[in-house]
Amino acid sequence: MALLALALGMPRLGPLFSALYPELDRPIYQQDSFVDLLLAHIAMVLGSSVPAVALGVGAGIALTRPWGREFRPLVETAVAIGQTFPPVAVLAVAAPLIGFGVRPALIALLLYGLLPILQGTLAGLATVPAASREAAQGLGMSTRGILWRIELPLAAPVILAGIRTSVIINIGTAAIASTVGAKTLGSPIIVGLSGFNSAYVIQGALLVGLLAIVADQAFERAARRLGHWRGAGTAV
Amino acid sequence: MPPFSQRKHDRVLLALTLLMLASLYAWPLLTWAPNRLLTGHALPWSRLANGWHPLLWLPGMLLLPAWALRPRRLVWLATALAAAALLAGLCGLAGAVAAEEAARTPFGRTSFGAAFWSMALLCWLTAAHCLTRLFPRHSSRSIAHLLLWAPLGLLLASGRMDELSVLKEYANRQDVFDDALWRHVQILLATLLPAIATGWPLGLLAFRRPALRQALFAVLNIIQTIPSIALFGLLIAPLAWLAQTSPWLARAGVGGIGMAPAVIALALYALLPIVRSMVAGLEQVPAAVVEAAAGMGLSQRQILLRVELPLALPVVLAGIRITAVQTVGMASVAALIGAGGFGAIMFQGLAGSALDLVLLGVIPVVALAVVLDALFSFFESLLEIRP
Amino acid sequence: MIEFSRVSKRYHGSLAVDALDLVVGEGQFTVLLGTSGSGKSTTLKMINRLVERDEGEIRFAGRDVRHFEPQDLRRRMGYAIQSVGLFPHWTVEKNIATVPQLLGWSYARTAARVHELMTMLQLDPGRFARRYPHQLSGGQQQRVGVARALAADPEILLMDEPFGALDPVTRAALQTEIGRIHRQTGRTVVMVTHDLDEALGLATHIVLMNQGRIEQQGTPLEILSGPASDFVRDFVGRSDIGIRLLALERVAQHTRTGEILPGEPLLSHNTLREALSAFVARRVDRLPVVDEQGCPAGTLHFSDLIDARHDAR
């Protein structure tokens, strides 16, 4: 709510920013409306995170099945090394290779966002008590039933934590994606930095920061709802 | 599912080998462009097969049947060596071809193609896969990795690859590069040292006082949530104001842009993993051990110094490792607010759409992160293995 | 009900179960007894195909278990394990309803069955039905585990050291419970344990296993009074065989009616082992006995304990 209000109301704050920065002719970023930038930003994060969740969770499941288990150490090594890559680096390499604009940003965000989700899925499935699995099997549940009704619900809080990390990182990286020509809430920041217009920078930074905090809070709430069976105070 | 040792063949190696073949088929190993600003096109295979060059593929031939052999130590060792030799051979091949092309057209640029990068990754994964099986202990595995990849460093240092475009770019901007390296390390140290100096006492305090812990983590979590570029941006105004009102701060380098806001923001980010690792490290010390120490008459201070901190050390070190890797990456974003470092080269390359320049910024950042990660992991593994 | 013929199972080349022949009779309480590594758990898990045998044949209800779909087979058999394995994200009632749901029972039928089982296992449905497993004590969790295993009225109940992780008091209470359920329902039970006293107290048929083979099988009395080998003798304890024999019989069987004595009485359903303890503790040689309603039933003489052993042979 506060986020939307700020995005809509930013132009009204013109007098405030001109009071703070009297030397600026145009104290409010006007190339695009803040609502458009916010929506574009959210679209980019969703557009990369949704496929990343599907791929990451899918791969995590595959690597814990009997036929995929052999590949697990290898993938874990690859993921560990992948995470030492800064997200900006992925973005910076993707742009010249794929071309500038939204596409390289989406691909970079997707690739980088995969890693925490995959890790979360692997860690989450590892928390499923072996006894629950054995009991489910012993009671006659099918393999698929065990996955959908026992393993995934039990792993869900940890998987969600992975998705949370991934989305928060992607919100930040999407802001930097304006350096490769994608329109996001990072655009005012970059324009402001290169044009020495601190007001633009603050406007963009406020909205990006707020978006990340709002998203984080939403995940916090979802995590609490998911983990209700564990009792209080065990959120990861 | 039969246990690994009873399997007839190694599906992981098979998959890696197939991926190598596929990437060689689909992508160019090397590309060539008439000058540094144009996009390259694939160098035809015929250009890669001059004179003795095909010999460099020999280790690859050895690698092909490895998956079908019964998994045992000798096969793993040979496979790891073959993978390392293949990558070294590819580097040598790239260097030699680049030198030939340079002799033909002086302004031409020979660059690594997509297949080279994927081959490098796959060779590394192949070797890692085998070394994991050969050396279950982390510390000996790290040393094996070092020995395996040392020849690549020698090859790079020997100058045989200097005609490749990334290295040419390096040669052209050596002083810029060296400045960036120095600046990046400066940012890293200026972030880590104060963050550790405040983070460890804070962690200790938070461990002793649960009420403080909740409040502290709530604040640190929010900071960690704010994207780095936003925090950099938000710090500009207050710091600029500070510099205006107290000139002695401005003289000390504090200002809206530059290294000061970068280091302040990065140190704020670094606090969370450092404090958290200290608390987690102290929490995992078994209560029984502390009780036994108290029962033997050790004072609170002695318990902390002789029992709790030494037992917490591996977790605390892991926290420093994570923080260091995170800071190296975020420091490259700080170039946007004028802090310099490899990020500056990276963004300059992005602005000019010059891949070689981007790589000149990205590769050392990644290398720095990987080296720090490996170094700290090695120390951690030394601590953990105490039979 | 279940027949093993020449069944073997290998792990990494070594025999865990070695050419086993075994018949589990309908309505019997069969206990597979042995030290760890004796193959008793493997034997149990081959019945519901959690472990697949390598050689031989296992028949359930006259058909080879391999002719059943594993899931159908398991839904016809209850299964309870030491670590309980309750599903932590489901309430007690949902846990118990697992198999009825898999079998597609109606909501009303499932709810009625859950209520019935919770009452049978002395879990107040009003208090416990909506709790999550982490809100229960260890003993309560295992009660839910047993209720879940019994939910769809299985033809046979398989239990793998179900009480191994419980404290002695809770364990004794649950043993009494499971014994009562067996007597009331006449259901076939196969249980694995390494606890000799648990086996003696519950089993109608004990199968003592060692290194994948059956060392001896028979009723508890047969095992105690005629150990077939040194291994059996060591296992049942050379020095306290007598005490264990006393534990197999009840005070009621040896009470002399007609005599009425004053003082703190024994209960007629106490075991002779408990009676011996009372004799020694109070330093007397005869004690009054009352029946389950508390009416005087007669006296028990110290000398009758020795006669009891004699009778047993």
Give pLDDT tens digits for B209-224: 989 999 999 999 999 9
Task: Give the C-alpha separation, C135 to C88, whole Å.
Answer: 10
- Calculate the alpha carbon distances from A44 to A174, A180, A182 in Å: 7, 13, 9
**A82 Cβ under 8 Å from any chain B Cβ:** no
Task: Report residue A11: phi and psi, to 5°.
Answer: -60, -30
B369-375: average pLDDT: 91
Task: Give the C-alpha separation, B368 to B360, whole Å.
Answer: 13
- pLDDT band at residue A41 using 50, 70 and 90 as cut-offs: very high
Task: Give the C-alpha separation, B172 to B167, whole Å.
Answer: 9
Q: Is the pLDDT of residue A89 over 50?
A: yes
Q: Is the pLDDT of residue A216 over 80?
A: yes
Residues of A in contact with C73 (CB under 8 A): 140
Give pLDDT tens digits for A201-215: 888 999 999 999 999
Question: What is the pTM (predicted TM-score) of this model?
Answer: 0.85
Q: Are B236 and A198 in contact (CB < 8 Å)?
A: yes
Q: Are A140 and C83 in contact (CB < 8 Å)?
A: no
Output the pLDDT for position A236. 31
Residues C56/C9, Cβ–Cβ less than 8 Å: no
Q: Bin C87: left if φ > 0, else alpha if -120 < ψ < 50, else beta.
A: beta
- pLDDT band at residue B386 using 50, 70 and 90 as cut-offs: low
User: B236: which 2 tokens?
Assistant: 């500009």
Q: Are A140 and C134 in contact (CB < 8 Å)?
A: no
User: B4: which 2 tokens?
Assistant: 């690994």
Q: Is the pLDDT of residue B3 over 70?
A: no
Mutation to test the A interface, candidates C87, C134, C156, most A Cβ within 10 Å: C87
User: A105: which 2 tokens?
Assistant: 């940003």
Q: Are A189 and B366 in contact (CB < 8 Å)?
A: no
- Point out the residue among A77, A89, A209 whose CB comes nearest to the CB of B366: A89
Q: Is the pLDDT of residue A235 over 90?
A: no
Enumerate domains of chain A plus CATH numbers: 33-184 (1.10.3720.10)
Output the pLDDT for position A88. 85
**Minimal CA–CA distance to B81: which of B73, B93, B70?**
B73
Output the pLDDT for position B178. 93
Mutation to test the A interface, candidates B225, B330, B363, most A Cβ within 10 Å: B225
Q: How many CB atoms lie within 10 A of CB B130?
A: 27
B58-72: average pLDDT: 83
* Average pLDDT over all residues of chain C: 89
- pLDDT band at residue B385 using 50, 70 and 90 as cut-offs: low
Based on the number of CB atoms within 10 Å of its own CB, is A121 exposed (0-12), middle (13-18) or buried (19 or more)?
buried
C235-242: average pLDDT: 79
Residues of A in contact with C132 (CB under 8 A): 229-231
Give pLDDT tens digits for A108-120: 899 889 999 999 9
- The SS3 assignment for C104 reads coil
Give pLDDT tens digits for B285-313: 998 988 888 888 888 889 999 899 999 99
Looking at the complex, report in whole angstroms how far the Cα of residue C210 sits from the nearest Cα belonging to chain A. Answer: 25
Give pLDDT tens digits for B104-127: 888 888 888 888 999 999 999 999
Task: Give the C-alpha separation, A37 to A4, whole Å.
Answer: 12
- Point out the residue among B129, B355, B366 whose CB comes nearest to the CB of A97: B355
Q: Are C81 and A230 in contact (CB < 8 Å)?
A: no
Q: Are A175 and B373 in contact (CB < 8 Å)?
A: no
- pLDDT band at residue A103 using 50, 70 and 90 as cut-offs: confident
Instruction: Find the length of chain A.
Output: 236
Handedness of CA A97, A98, A102, A103 (dihedral sign): negative
- pLDDT band at residue B7 using 50, 70 and 90 as cut-offs: low
Give pLDDT tens digits for B240-295: 888 778 777 777 666 667 788 889 999 999 999 999 999 999 999 998 988 888 88
What are the residues of chain C with a beta carbon less than 8 Å away from any beta carbon of chain A? Answer: 48, 50, 70-75, 79, 81, 83-90, 98-99, 102, 132, 134-135, 145, 148-149, 158
Output the pLDDT for position C312. 42
Residue at token pair 């390499």: A93
Task: Give the C-alpha separation, C58 to C49, whole Å.
Answer: 10
Instruction: Find the length of chain B.
Output: 387
Enumerate domains of chain B plus CATH numbers: 4-163 (no CATH), 174-384 (1.10.3720.10)
**A88 Cβ under 8 Å from any chain B Cβ:** yes
* Torsion on CA atoms A23, A24, A28, A32, rounded to nearest 10: -170
Q: Is the pLDDT of residue B346 over 60?
A: yes
